[in-house]
Amino acid sequence: MSLPDKAFPVSWDQFHRDARALAWRLSGTGQVWNAIVCITRGGLVPAAIICRELDIRRIDTVCIASYHDYSSQGEMQVLKDINPEILATGGVGVLVVDDLTDTGKTAAIVRAMLPKAHFATVYAKPKGRPLVDTFVTEVSQDTWIYFPWDMGLSYQEPINKESRG
């Protein structure tokens, strides 16, 4: 797979800092959450960090497949639903966590399941941003974020390759 023109590689250290920054923002809301629902797979890592930082013990997942070839979004498919006890509340006291909101399609599905939940993502793109309540960093819609769990150590081309003659 070749790198897109706008690539945003994120290291483990950077992702950890960004997820903790999200936890700080969430703690500043004054809200107390009874549970976290993380959208898998991307939401697993930030949810682990946030539940530690905010001392949330009840964690559930909703599994939605959207990126089938790691380069483009395909048809949305719910692979695992949310616990019925959490669904019954409509999301009251529930924090939904994901790594990224891109087009907002995944968030829209989960928001329909939990309309009263608070949605938080580490990163947001313009199309998905209206569907989340809290995020840390916004990137342009045409930027591809390379998360640390998808990468190994490798050379990165300079942004301005032409100036290197």
- The full DSSP string for 76-131 is EEEEEPPPHHHHHTTTTTEEEEEEEESSSHHHHHHHHH-TTSEEEEEEE-TTTGGG
Output the pLDDT for position 157: 73
Q: If pLDDT is split at 50, 70 and 90, which confidence band does 67 have?
A: low
Could you list the residues known to form a binding site for 5-phospho-alpha-D-ribose 1-diphosphate, using ranges: 41-42, 98-106
pLDDT of 100 over the 90 cut? yes
Return the structure tokens found at 6.
């706008």
- Distance of alpha carbon 67 from its chain centroid, rounded? 13
CB 145 within 8 A of CB 123: yes
Closest by CA to 31, choosing from 133, 104, 123, 155, is: 133
102: left (phi over 0), alpha (psi -120 to 50) or beta: alpha
Output the pLDDT for position 152: 76
**């529930």: which residue's tokens?**
94
Output the pLDDT for position 159: 72
pLDDT of 103 over the 80 cut? yes
* Active-site residue set: 98-99, 102
Helix (H) or strand (E) run with residue 65 in it: strand 59-67
Q: What is the CATH number of domain 6-151?
A: 3.40.50.2020
Q: What is the mean pLDDT of the chain?
A: 90
Output the pLDDT for position 153: 72
Alpha-carbon torsion angle 147, 52, 96, 133, nearest 10: -80
Q: What is the mean pLDDT of residues 23-51?
A: 96
Could you list the residues known to form a binding site for guanine, using ranges: 102, 145
pLDDT of 10 over the 70 cut? yes
pTM (two decimals)? 0.86
The CA distance from 90 to 136, in Å, is 25
Residues of the chain with pLDDT > 70: what percent? 88
Could you list the residues known to form a binding site for xanthine, using ranges: 102, 145
pLDDT of 29 over the 70 cut? yes
Contacts of 93 by beta carbon, 8 Å cutoff, 6+ apart: 32, 33, 34, 35
Q: What is the mean pLDDT of residues 104-121?
A: 97
Q: If pLDDT is split at 50, 70 and 90, which confidence band does 75 have?
A: confident
pLDDT of 83 over the 70 cut? yes
pLDDT of 71 over the 70 cut? no
